[in-house]
Amino acid sequence: MKKIAAFFDIDGTFYRDSLMTEHFKKLIKYDIIDPLMWHAHAKEAFNDWDKRQGNYDDYLLELAGVYIDTLTGVPRESIEFTSQNVIDQKSERVYRYTRSRIKWHKESGHTVIFISGSPDYLVKRMAKKYNVTEYKATEYIFKDDIFTGRIVPMWDSKSKDKAIDYFVEKHDLDLSKSYAYGDTHGDFSMLKRVGYPIAINPAKELLNDIKNDEGLRKRAEIIIERKDVIYSFTPDQITTLL
């Protein structure tokens, strides 16, 4: 009998911010990287998004580029130390809805899987924190315990699609009975492939993707969590004003 899985993106879907952003700030706090790299290259993009003047996907891609450039040449030991600090201090900043869904999936005997664009050394620790044994994340490549500046990304739709193929074969999954949770365009293929797609506070691009896909529009659920209230909508019930 085929198994049921629940695929979770992390940043913006489970975690209420970006693990990479938190790690960037922690690296600065411990004087491991030059704070000028944040102020010169990433702060403007962050401020645009924070003021709701920029595109979230664009912000994350720009931040990822600066993060990778800045981290190149940093020893693994420093990266691992600051990564653990992020999880120790920030890992509880998760959405109530997705936290409860992970609990429900485990109780239902489903295979819970994290598929995230965040660095693997952060996702590994987040998975351990929430007793999730399966995950795929952006792989950061080291040589002689020094970060080389090379990565294998997991934030785009194509990469997440391949990750699902891997887990389908590994666990003999029935995607028609499986679930996926995401918030940005990079999660589109993941949502499209399962029987129960759920978009969490979706970015405008993802919402448009869902509305423009006839099959996905019929079965997708849109979850909006604000303050202590969780709202559930169908895609057709959502009207974007801007």
In this model, does residue 128 exceed pLDDT 70? yes
Stretch 151-172: mean pLDDT: 94
Band of pLDDT at residue 52, cut at 50, 70 and 90? low
pLDDT average, residue stretch 31-59: 67
69 within a domain of the structure (yes/no): yes
Which tops the pLDDT comparison, 99 or 50? 99
- At residue 34, the pLDDT reads 79
Residues 167 and 5: beta-carbon distance below 8 Å: yes
Rg over CA atoms, the chain: 18
149: which 2 tokens? 């500046």
Using 50, 70 and 90 to split pLDDT, how confident is the model at 129? very high
Kindly give the residue spans of alpha helices, DSSP state H, lying in 33-156: 35-37, 43-50, 56-71, 76-90, 96-107, 120-129
For residue 209, tell me if it sits in a domain: yes
Q: What is the arithmetic mean of pLDDT over 95-106? A: 97
- Taking phi over 0 as left and psi of -120 to 50 as alpha, with beta for the rest, 88 belongs to alpha
Q: Is residue 112 part of a domain?
A: yes
pLDDT of residue 40: 63
Percent of the chain with pLDDT over 90: 75
| Helical spans, DSSP H, in 144-183 | 157-171
Residue 43 has pLDDT above 90, yes or no: no
Going by DSSP bridges, is the β-strand pair 146-152/179-182 parallel, antiparallel, or unpaired?
A: unpaired
- Least confident segment among 16-30, 41-55, 196-210: 41-55
CATH of the domain at 111: 3.40.50.1000
Q: Which range is least confidently modeled, 31-35, 90-94, 216-220? A: 31-35
**In percent, how much of the chain has pLDDT > 70?**
90
Q: Please indicate, yes or no, if residue 136 is contained in any of the structural domains.
A: yes
User: Does 47 score more than 80 pLDDT?
Assistant: no
At 195 the three-state DSSP class reads coil
Residue 183 in any domain: the answer is: yes
Q: Is residue 242 part of a domain?
A: no
Question: Domain range spanning residue 24?
Answer: 5-237
Compute φ and ψ for 16, nearest 5 degrees: -80, 10
Residue 187: name the closest of 178, 175, 198, 172 by CA: 198
Residue 116 domain flag: yes
Span 86-103, average pLDDT: 96
Instruction: Retrieve residue 169's tokens.
Output: 């074969």
- At a CB cut-off of 8 Å and minimum separation 6, what does 103 contact? none
Q: Is residue 87 part of a domain?
A: yes
Q: What is the pLDDT of residue 50?
A: 59
Residues 6+ apart with CB under 8 A from 31: none
pLDDT in tens, 174-201: 999 999 999 999 999 999 999 999 999 9
Comparing 69 with 57, the larger pLDDT belongs to 69
What are the tokens at 101?
């869904």
Q: d(Cα 138, Cα 140) in Å, to the nearest integer?
A: 6
Confidence at residue 240, expressed as pLDDT on a 0 to 100 scale = 76
Q: How far apart are CA 180 and CA 190, in angstroms?
A: 6
Average pLDDT of the chain to the nearest whole number: 91
User: How many domains in the chain?
Assistant: 1
Alpha-carbon gap, residue 24 to 137, rounded angstroms: 17
